[in-house]
Structure 1
Amino acid sequence: MQPHLATSRPDTPWLPVLAALLGLAVAVRRPAPIPALLLALLSTAGADPLGVMEPALAAILLTAYTVGTVSERATAAAVAIGCAVLLCAGFAVAERLLALDSQGGPVPSVIGVLAGIAVGQATATRRQLLVALKERALRAELALEEEARRRVAEERMHIAREVHDLVAHHISVVNVQAGVAAHLLRERPEAAGEALGHVRTAARTVLDELGAVLDVLRGSGDPRAPLEPLPGLADLDRLIDSFGGAGLRVDRTVSGAPRSCPPAVDLCAYRILQESLTNARKYGRGRAKVTMSYTDQELTINVRNECADARERDVPGTGHGLIGMRERIASVGGTLVAGPAPAGEFAVLARLPLDGSHLTDGNRDDPSVAR
C-alpha cells in the first residue's frame, strides 16, 4: 500500500515553494495589488501540473478582488483582459513547447480573474455610492441649517423694523409733548394738561401696539386678543394729524388717480411715510412736504424737509430707520433714494410697483412681506 501512496502524491519538493509564492501574493495584495495578482497567476504554472489548483485559484480570486476594489474601471478592465490573454498564452506555451500536462487548462484561472475583478469593482462602486449619499445627506443637512439661520435672521430684522416703526413716531410725540408740558408748567400750568394728554395717548398707543406684537410672537391663542388690521394708506390722514399734534406741519400733494395696491405694498408705503415724517420732525424745521404720484404701474412718494442742522443733511442712510426703509422697499420690488437735496433739504424718494408682478401668488396678499 505504501508504494501506491507514493505514486499518487505530487512531487512534494515543489509544494513549499508553491505555498510560499501564493502566501507572498496574498500578503502583498494591498500595497501592490497588480504585482500580487501576476504572482498568483505565475504560481498556476506549478499548481496545475501538481494538481493543487484550489489554493492557486483562491489566491487568484483574492488578489483579483483587491485589484477590482482599488482600481479605476478602465484600469480594472485592462488588467482583466491582459491577465486572460497572459493565461491563455502561458498555458499554450507550456503545453506545446514544454510538454507540460495541463489538467484544467486556463479556463478556471481566467474565470477566477474575471470574477474577482468584477466583484471588486461592484464593491468599490457600492462604497463610492455610500460615500456620495453620505456627502449629499451632509450637504442637505448643512443647507437646512443655513436656511434656518437665514430665516431666523430675516425674522429678527422684520421684528426690529416693526418695533422701530411702532415706537419711533410715538416716542417722538412723547418727547415733544413732554418738552411742551415742561415749558407750560413754568409759565401756564393750566395749559399743560393738553400736552400731557398727548403724552398719555402716545404712550398708551405704544404699549397697545407692542402688546399686539408680543401676542403674535408668543402665538397667543386668546380669542379676545385684538385682531386690528395693519395700517395702510387709508390711515394716512390720521398719521398726518398725529404729526401735526407733535408740531410738524405736513403739506401733502397727490397727483394721478389713487388706486388700490397689494397689501404688502400698501403697508410698505405707510411705513415709508411714517419713518420719513418721523425723521423730518426730529431733524427738520417743523415742516415737511409729501408728494404722492400715481401711475398705472407705480406709486412715487417724495418726502422733503429742511434740515435744522446741516450736519444731519450730510449723513444720509446711517440710521436704523433708513436701513429698514430700504429693506422694506426691496422686499416689494421697489427702489429708494434718500439723501441731501438742494436748498438745505433732505429728501426721500420711493418708487413702489402697484401691479404686484414682483410678488408670488403666495405673498401677494400677505402684508408681512413688507414688514
Structure 2
Amino acid sequence: MTAPQPGRRTVRAWRHRIRTASPRPVPAHPDGAARPDGDASVRSTGRPDEDASAGHAPARAPGTDRGTPAPDEDAPAHAPARETGPDGEEAARHAAGGVARSVAAWCTALAYPLLLHTAVLHESEPTGMRLVLPALLAVLPVALLRRRPLVTLVLVLAGGFAATVTAASVLAAGPGPVGPPPGTAQRGWEGNAWQVAALQAVVTDAALAYMAATRRTRTVVAGACAALTVQVAAASYHRSGSDRFVSAVLLIVLAVAIAWMTGLMIRERREHARTLGEQAARQAVTEERLRIARELHDMVAHSIGVIAIQAGVGRRVVDSRPAAARDALAAIETTSRDTLAGLRRMLGGLRRADPQERPRDPAPGLGDLDRLLGTFRDAGLDVGVRWRGERRALPPDVELSAYRIVQEAITNVARHAGTARCTLVVDYGTDRLAVEVTDDGCGSPEGRGPRVGKGPHGSTDRLDGTDGAPHAGGGYGITGMRERAALLDGRLTAGPRPEGGFRVAAWLPLPEGTR
C-alpha cells in the first residue's frame, strides 16, 4: 500500500508558510539592497564590495581587541507583524465557525431540559421538577469534556442514573403525596423518565466518541465499561419484562460500540490529515531547498567559471602583456560584484516577510542575454546568436528559466567543452519558447561535471581552469536545467551530437495570454 501523497494546494500552502516564516522584516540599505540580518558577527558591514573599494578594513571577528561592532542605532525596531493575507482570513473564518458550532451545540444540548422544565411548570403536581435537575446534570458537564472527558462522562452517567432512580422510586410509591396521581400522570412520569434516560444515553455516546478520538485506549476502555455498567443498571430499574430488558441492554451495547467506532474513525482521519500535512511540509521544504540550490548553482557556477578563465588569462600574460592582465582583473572584479549583487537580491527575496511583495531588483530575463554573452566573449568564448520569431515580453518565470538554462549551458561550454565557439538559438514560437546551445567541442557527454586539476596546489595548465583531464562527473548543472524546465511543464534534452560536440535544447510552454 503506497503512502498518501499531499495535493498541490496543500504543498503550495506549506510553501507559502515557509516563505512567510521570517520572524521580522529586514531593513534595507539606503541604496535599496537588502541587508542580511541575524548574527552580529555577520552584520559587521552593510556593503562589503563598496567597503573594500573604498579601502575600509574588514570587520573584526568577535573576540578581537575591538570586539563585535555595535548594531545599527538607526535600524527600526521590529515588532511582531499581525498575520494578514489569506492565512489570517482563513484563521478568522475558522475561529468564527468554531464559535458558531459551539453556540449551536449548547443550544441543542440545553433545549430538552428547558422544554422539560416548561412542561413541568404547567403540571398540577410539582413533583416533576425532580426530573429537571437530573436532566440538567446529564447535560451541563459537557462543558468539561475537552479538559476532563472521564469526569464529564461520570457526571453525565450520574445525572441519567439519578433521573432513572427518581422516576422508579416515585412510580414505586404509587398514587399519593409522594407519587404521581393515577392514570395519565403516571404514564407521563414514566415517559419523562425514559426521555431523560435517552438524553443521557446520547450525551454519553457523544462523550465516548470524543474520548475515542482524542484520548488513549486505556481511558476509553474505562469510560466504556463505566457507561455500560451504569446504563445497564439504570435499565434494570424500569418495570419491564425480561425481553424488553434484554433488548435495552443490546441497544446500549450497540450504541456504545458505534460511538467507539465513530471516535476511532475520527482519530484515523485526523492522523491521516496530520500525515498529509507533514508530507506536504517536507515536500514544500524540499522544493524550496532545491529552488535555492538551483539559483545558487546557476548564479555562482557561472561567475566562478568566468573568474577562473579570466584568472588563468591574467596569470599567463601578467609578464608579457600587463594591459591584458589588467583587463582580466577588471573582468574578475566586475563579475564578482555582479555575483555579490545577485546573492544579495536572492537573500533579500528569501527574507521578505511578504512573498507577494515585488523584489527591488527584477530577476534577469532574455533582455539581459546580451550582457551575459558579453561576459563570455570577454573571457574568449565566441558565442553566435540567432533569434527566430517575434521577440516579445514573456512571463517572468519563463524568462528567468530560459536565462538560467542558457547561462548554465554556455558556462558548461566554457568550462568543459574544450572549444572557443558555440551557438545560441532563441526561438519565439506561438505556444512555446525554445532555446538551444550547441558546440563543436569534445566534452564528455556524462553530465559535463567539473574536471579535476592536477597541477601544484590545485593549479591547472589550461585557461578554462582544467588541465585536460577527464571529467570528474557528478555535477548538477543538467539536473538543475531539467528541473527548471519541468517546473514550467516543459522539457529539456542534453547530449552529444552525431557530428561531434554537445547540444542542450529546452522547450518552455507559454501561457494563453502571451501567445
Band the TM-score falls in, shorter-chain normalisation: 0.5 to 0.7
Equivalent of 2:414, from 281, 304, 315?
281
Contact 2:391 2:428 in 1 (8 A): yes
Q: Which has the higher helix share?
A: 1
* Aligned AA (2:492): L
Secondary structure of the corresponding residue to residue 241 of structure 2:
helix
- CA distance in 2: counterparts of 1:319 and 1:182, whole angstroms: 27
After superposition, residues 64-213 of structure 1 pair within 5 angstroms as: 108-213=241-346
Give 1:219 shift: 3.5
Cα RMSD for the two superposed structures: 2.5
Structure 2 equivalent of residue 303 of structure 1: 437
- CA distance in 1: counterparts of 2:318 and 2:283, whole angstroms: 51
Give 1:263 shift: 1.7
**In structure 2, do the counterparts of structure 1 residues 246 and 356 end up closer, same or farther at CA, with 3 Å as the change threshold?**
farther
Is 1:353 matched with 2:487?
no
Report the TM-score when normalising by structure 2: 0.46
Structure 2 equivalent of residue 343 of structure 1: 499
Structure 2 equivalent of residue 313 of structure 1: 445
**In structure 2, do the counterparts of structure 1 residues 119 and 150 end up closer, same or farther at CA, with 3 Å as the change threshold?**
same
Give 1:269 shift: 0.9
Give 1:246 shift: 1.6
Give 1:214 shift: 2.2
Structure 1 equivalent of residue 489 of structure 2: 333
- CA distance in 2: counterparts of 1:259 and 1:113, whole angstroms: 83
Report the TM-score when normalising by structure 1: 0.63
- 1:94-119, Cα deviation, whole Å (9 max, x unpaired): xxxxxxxxxxxx96111101111011
Give 1:356 shift: 5.2
Gaps of 5+ in 1: 1-105, 358-363, 365-371
Secondary structure of the corresponding residue to residue 319 of structure 1:
coil
- 1:296-350, Cα deviation, whole Å (9 max, x unpaired): 11122111012244xx135569521110111110011111110011222100111
Contact 1:262 1:356 in 2 (8 A): no
Structure 1 equivalent of residue 392 of structure 2: 259
Q: Which has the higher strand share?
A: 1
- CA distance in 2: counterparts of 1:185 and 1:107, whole angstroms: 112
Secondary structure of the corresponding residue to residue 318 of structure 2:
helix
Contact 1:313 1:344 in 2 (8 A): no
Give 1:262 shift: 1.9
Secondary structure of the corresponding residue to residue 290 of structure 1:
strand
Is 1:294 matched with 2:428?
yes
**In structure 2, do the counterparts of structure 1 residues 261 and 235 end up closer, same or farther at CA, with 3 Å as the change threshold?**
same
Identity, % of aligned positions: 40
* Aligned AA (1:248): L
Contact 1:169 1:275 in 2 (8 A): yes
Contact 1:314 1:340 in 2 (8 A): no
- CA distance in 2: counterparts of 1:132 and 1:179, whole angstroms: 68
- CA distance in 1: counterparts of 2:317 and 2:507, whole angstroms: 42
- CA distance in 2: counterparts of 1:269 and 1:218, whole angstroms: 25
Is 1:324 matched with 2:480?
yes
Contact 1:306 1:345 in 2 (8 A): yes
Contact 2:436 2:504 in 1 (8 A): yes
Runs of 4+ in 1 over 6 A off after TM superposition: none
* Aligned AA (2:440): E
Give 1:234 shift: 1.1
Gaps of 5+ in 2: 1-238, 450-473
Structure with the bigger RCO (C-alpha within 8 Å, sep 6+) is 2
